[in-house]
Amino acid sequence: MALKDSRGNLLGTDSAAARDAVESALWRMMSFYEPPLADLECASAHDPHWPLPHVMKAGFLLSLTEPSLRAQARTDLERAQALLERASPRERTHCEATQRVLDGRWHDACALWDEWLLDHPRDALALQWAHLWDFYRGDAPNLRARPARALPEWEPADPLYAHVLALHAFGLEECNLQQQAEEAGRRALALDARSPWAIHAVAHVMEMQGRFDDGAAWLRQNQAAWVEGNGYACHLWWHLALFRLEGLDDAGVLRLVDAHLAGDALQVTLQRVDAASMLWRLHLLGVDVRQRSAALVAQWDLADDSAGYYAFNDVHALLAMLAADDGARAEHWVARCAERALAADDAPRANHTMAREVGAPLMRALLALARGEAGSAAQALYAVRGKAQRFGGSHAQRDLVDQTLLAAAAADPGSRALGRAVFNERRSARPMSPLTRRWGERLGVTMP
């Protein structure tokens, strides 16, 4: 007889050992404590005919946004599809949604998970995966709304409840509901101290509010919960570096980069994106990061066939090339990304839209800035900043668009009015941090 998980979701297995291994894998996916692959292999060993572990392996690999992992994800999904005859409706749904992700139809995948969650709000796997691809698609309203619809159906005693609450906290923050976000994140952490996504959500609140000293203290206070054995550690080190940068502690930022955002610490593209982002911000402030950026480019899989997979990652790879002063490679990369991401297709994929609307114009603006065409770069960046959310990431990650615009405007006397307008918007949203003051000085703004 098929079993159910602790939240009443029907499973396509009668093996308690396989069920427990999948539950452990799900916890790892939501908490980021070690990859879930060993647990999923264990589940398959206990029940070789159960498709769900193969679906979860495929989805996990795809969630890393790593072009080189797509082939293995496809193999895992094909294994699952060969076993669907005995699958539950839930497992068929997850299999179909994951296939849509593999095909690049991210919007369709999230729509299917959304439809499923209306009747099954305690399906943590659907919540986790829909949340990730909402993030990759820049869908802030659903980052908030989907967990909000599900949470009242959950029991706070559930071991995964705190992680779902953490999803909601991050969604609230991305919808600029900062006070609610901080309250939800702190509440999630009070329920489970091993909830890095909750730590992360509160860190985002503090970044958006310019509370850089509070943010650094917050991460240090909770460091024991994320620094060891957690896949999210690299990103939280990036957040700590952001707080250091807001205080213009360039030396402190470089120490963090060298210790935690370089070399062997960078295992997947998502981590390299963080390194590229931080090095670019330093570059905009006049810090020489050419050698560090060149080392990052050298260890990044940037073969032509990896271009054009996800515009957000493609832009960050370009930032590393430009910060390394490798203009020829940067020009080639932009051309290759455009060729692959914008090619005609009978069934347009999510990345085609992201690349067309945001990725390609943003990359052209960055190239213009690198060529010394600061005025045209500032105008192009201003045109794209209002829709930058459409290619994914968070407010904090996309802030590099504004900072690049400020740098371009500061370098072009004819763009100073534009730069001051963006600067005024910035300082009205957060206290006058040392970094904000630096941008004002470069733009010639008189400040008290």
What was the pLDDT predicted at 349? 83
Does residue 185 sit in helix, strand or coil?
A: helix
The DSSP 8-state label assigned to residue 424 in this structure reads: H
User: What pTM did the predictor assign?
Assistant: 0.96
Residues of the chain with pLDDT under 70: 1, 344-348
What was the pLDDT predicted at 228? 87
Residues 288 and 430 in one domain: yes
* CATH number, domain containing residue 103: 1.25.40
CA-wise closest residue to 310 among 280, 344, 349, 263: 349
Phi, psi of 197, rounded to the nearest 5 degrees: -65, -30
Residue showing tokens 């291994």: 21
Residue 89 lies in a domain: yes
Residue 12 lies in a domain: yes
- Which of 120, 138, 156 is the endpoint of a domain? 138
- Which of 122, 138, 154 is the endpoint of a domain? 138
CA-wise closest residue to 284 among 212, 381, 395: 381
Domain range enclosing 409: 262-448
What was the pLDDT predicted at 348? 54
Residue type, 61: L
Structure token pair of residue 106: 């991210």
What was the pLDDT predicted at 2? 73
Residues 275 and 128 in one domain: no
Residue type, 183: E
What was the pLDDT predicted at 301? 87
Residue 145 lies in a domain: no
Residue 231 lies in a domain: no
What was the pLDDT predicted at 344? 53
Residue 174 lies in a domain: no
The DSSP 8-state label assigned to residue 324 in this structure reads: T
Residue showing tokens 């910060």: 323
Does residue 6 sit in helix, strand or coil?
A: coil
Burial of 422 (0-12, 13-18, 19+ CB in 10 A): buried
What was the pLDDT predicted at 345? 57
* Rounded-to-integer distance, Cα 205 and Cα 177, Å: 9
Residues 132 and 269 in one domain: no
Structure token pair of residue 429: 């949203």
Distance, first Cα to last Cα, the chain:
73
The DSSP 8-state label assigned to residue 389 in this structure reads: G
Residue 248 lies in a domain: no
* Rounded-to-integer distance, Cα 244 and Cα 258, Å: 14
Task: Specify the number of domains making up the chain.
Answer: 2
- Which of 123, 138, 153 is the endpoint of a domain? 138
What was the pLDDT predicted at 346? 45
Residue 67 lies in a domain: yes
Q: How many CB atoms lie within 10 A of CB 327?
A: 13
Residue type, 146: R
What was the pLDDT predicted at 347? 47
What was the pLDDT predicted at 37? 97
Q: Which stretches of 219-370 are assigned E, i.e. beta strand?
A: none
CA-wise closest residue to 288 among 254, 319, 262, 311: 254
Residue 250 lies in a domain: no
